[in-house]
Amino acid sequence: MSHPPKKRLWITVLLSGLMLAACAKRAPEAQSLTYGLTLAPSGIDPHINASAELGIPLSSVYDTLVVQDPQTRAFLPSLATEWDVSPDGLTYTFKLRRDVRFHDGTPFDAQAVVANIHYITNPDHHSQKAIFMLGPLDTVEAVDEFTVVFRLKEPFAPLLDSLSQVYLGMASPEALESYGPAEYQFHQLGTGPYRFVEYIPNDRLVLERNPDYAWAPPVVNREQASVERIAFRFYEDPATRALALERGEVDVIGEVPPRDAARLEKDPAFLLYEVAIPGQPMQFFFNTQRSPTDDLKVRRALLMALDRPQIVDTLFGPYSPVANAPLSSDLLPPVDAPGLRYDPEGAAKLLDEAGWRLQGAVRRRDGAAMTLRIISPPWGSNPEAAQLMEAAWETLGIEVQVQVAPGFGPLRDLQAGGEYNLIGLNFFGTDPDLLRSFYHSQGFFNWSGLADPQVDAWLEEGARLSVDPQGRAERYRLVSARLMERAVIVPLRDYVNLVVARSDVQGLHFSAQGWFPYLIDVRLDR
């Protein structure tokens, strides 16, 4: 028997093996992305903590019952396939998907929804945001395996908006019970397109693709993520963000300073995304309970003395529209109110009428110098804006002191002390009920000290009118006009997040809230 056939067979097998090995060597490595975050939150459990920054990674770990279309603002199915609202606005019934599992294999069902809501509303857990987003919730009940009912004490129009956000994202009930509020932030388990892998405070947060994901909502374009691993790193100093991009340390980063954004925009190696953030503008509240800003004439004069368009252009260039209302222009139309137009001569006349007259270089009344104390947050160019306001008001003979709080906690402590005339703070959101926390006389963030029964009534009606969208819009228009007529705030600019990505990062787009990227759609052309 001849041997050549065996030799040819051995050679064929050898060549096949070599070809397979060569193919294996040429197989592309799993794609990974580094995303720069601009704040290192003190806690990242979205059910307990409140920062917008935590939602950038965690909106890919959690799915929500509903989602909001970024263009139309309509609410669409996600974990809930359909829902019904009773005519009185008190009962919301959700039908749930039947094919969803949490990252630990636990099935998603109505009892899981109940467990999540109970975790959030447990008073021992001290939820900073999510609990308030549920409004006047009375009970939540699983009426069968895939039907859950929310019952309210009174109508609450923002409920669907709340349920579309990561703060009310669905977490594994077994993980919530196992880890509890102290440890869960390090072991988060949702149903989303990415799994939570690692969190080292002030260093990194790491996600990996969920290979079992098969229930993508209609606001995204892919059923499965293509990027295998995403590492988030922190760049709190704005001066480091453009450098991190240029050095290749990150692929994407937000809140890039405008001058750096303008430079990078011209470089074909990068793409600039100007992402409008709905909600409150960059603003400073007047303290209406402390002299001299307890006087409406003084507040109007201070507004008139500010060239707000020039301030915005100086700090943000062409990237931010000037704000003229207590909510961004995509939520409320701008208001033409007394004091919004720059008129330094008119401002001086109003101060004279209020009894604050120039004596030498300083305005005085009854022998006391006119003094303003501004408290500024440390983020978002607020300190620079405070300095520009200081310079404008000093030209009128006003003594101005600016203090920059080193963080949100110190900012809140300084506000509680009450020793300020202006203080900066703004929150984001897609529902105008956001105003209630700030301008209702009992609002948690009523830092202006406003006590206006008519504003209270309009805000309460706006929250209840879940079945009357036009009636809601009219209430908030009235609130906006009243706030600007009473000169309660210094509105500066509608917020635009300047996000820069390397040009090989494709498919990047953002949620209705503006901050949160749909990372499932991102692909790398490398």
Q: Is residue 28 part of a domain?
A: no
Omega before residue 57 within 30° of 0, cis = no
- Strands 422-424, 371-376: pairing is parallel
Mean pLDDT along residues 85-109: 97
CATH number at residue 138: 3.40.190.10
Q: What is the mean pLDDT of residues 500-521?
A: 97
Task: Answer yes or no: is 412 within a domain.
Answer: yes
pLDDT, residue 78, reads 98
Helix axes 296-304, 344-353, angle to 10 degrees: 160
Q: Strands of 252-253's sheet, edge to edge?
A: 194-200, 204-209, 229-234, 32-37, 252-253, 496-502, 270-276
pLDDT at 9 over 60: no
In a domain, 107, yes or no: yes
Amino acid 21: pLDDT: 39
Between β-strands 422-424 and 496-502, what pairing exists: parallel, antiparallel or unpaired? unpaired
Q: Is residue 8's pLDDT more than 50?
A: no
Does residue 338 register a pLDDT over 90?
Answer: no
Strands (DSSP E) found in 353-487 = 357-359, 362-365, 368-369, 371-376, 399-404, 422-424
Cα separation, 104 vs 188, in Å, equals 10
- 99 shares its domain with 173: yes
* Of 202, 208, 201, 259, residue with least CA distance to 229: 208
Structure tokens at 124: 């021992």
Residues with Cβ within 8 Å of residue 316, at least 6 apart in sequence: 258, 381, 493, 496
Q: Are residues 86 and 186 in the same domain?
A: yes
Q: Are residues 68 and 119 in the same domain?
A: yes
Residue 437: how many CB atoms within 10 A of its CB?
16
Q: What local confidence, expressed as pLDDT, does residue 11 receive?
A: 34
Q: Which two tokens stand for residue 400?
A: 């101005």
User: What is the secondary structure of 271-322 as a DSSP string?
Assistant: EEEEEE--BPPEEEEE-TTSTTTTSHHHHHHHHHT--HHHHHHHHHGGGSPB
**299-327 pLDDT tens trace:** 999 999 999 999 999 999 999 999 999 99
Same domain flag for 161 and 292? no
Specify the pLDDT at position 39.
87
Q: How many domains does the chain have?
A: 2
Give the domain range for residue 344: 282-494
Torsion sign, CA atoms 384, 386, 392, 396: negative
Can you say whether residue 335 is alpha, beta or left, with left for phi > 0 and alpha for psi between -120 and 50 degrees? beta
pTM of the model: 0.88
Same domain, 504 and 490: no
* 526 band by pLDDT with thresholds 50, 70 and 90: confident
Adjacent-strand bridge partners of 271? 501
- Given pLDDT bands bounded at 50, 70 and 90, which one contains residue 339? confident
Q: At what angle do helices 173-183 and 110-121 cross, to 10 degrees?
A: 10
The answer as to whether 5 is a domain residue is: no
Output 23 or 77, whichever has higher pLDDT.
Answer: 77
N-terminal to C-terminal alpha carbon distance within the chain:
54
Is the model's pLDDT at 400 over the cut of 90?
yes
With cut-offs at 50, 70 and 90, classify the pLDDT of residue 5: very low
pLDDT, position 260: 97
Condensed to tens digits (0 to 9), the pLDDT of residues 40-57 reads 888 999 999 988 899 999
Same domain as 270, residue 187? yes
Q: Is pLDDT of 523 > 70? A: yes
Note whether 257 and 372 are same-domain residues. Answer: no
Whether pLDDT at 150 is above 90: yes
Query: What pLDDT shows up at residue 191?
Result: 98
Instruction: Quote the mean pLDDT of the chain.
Output: 92
**Tokens 């909510």, located at residue:** 327
Structural domain includes residue 485 = yes
Rounded Cα–Cα distance for residues 318 and 462 (Å) = 34
Q: Provide Rg for the chain, Cα atoms.
A: 27
Given a cut of 80, whether residue 29 has pLDDT beyond it is: no
Q: Judge if 257 and 393 occupy the same domain.
A: no
Are residues 362 and 242 located together in one domain of the fold? no
Domain harbouring 314, CATH code: 3.10.105.10
Whether residue 476 is found in the same domain as residue 507: no
DSSP character at residue 107: B
d(CA 469, CA 18): 68
| pLDDT band at residue 28 under the 50/70/90 scheme | very low
- Look up residue 281 and give its two tokens: 């503008």
The pair of three-digit structure tokens given for residue 517, joined into one six-digit string: 């990227």
The burial of 524, by beta-carbon neighbours within 10 Å (0-12 exposed, 13-18 middle, 19 or more buried), is given as middle
**Predicted local distance difference test score (pLDDT) of residue 3:** 41
Q: Does 19 have pLDDT greater than 60?
A: no
Three-state secondary-structure class, residue 359: strand
Q: Is residue 24 part of a domain?
A: no
Residues 330 and 268 in one domain: no
Whether pLDDT at 7 is above 60: no
CB 440 within 8 A of CB 481: no
Residue 332 pLDDT level (bands cut at 50, 70, 90): confident
Predicted pLDDT at 408: 85
pLDDT at 13: 35
Residue 364 three-state SS: strand
Instruction: Give a yes or no: residue 149 inside a domain.
Output: yes
* Cβ–Cβ under 8 Å, residues 114 and 141: yes
Is 262 within the bounds of a domain? yes
What percent of the chain is modeled with pLDDT above 70?
94
The DSSP string of 398-428 is -EEEEEE-SSHHHHHHHHHHT--SEEE---B
Indicate whether 269 and 341 sit together in one domain.
no
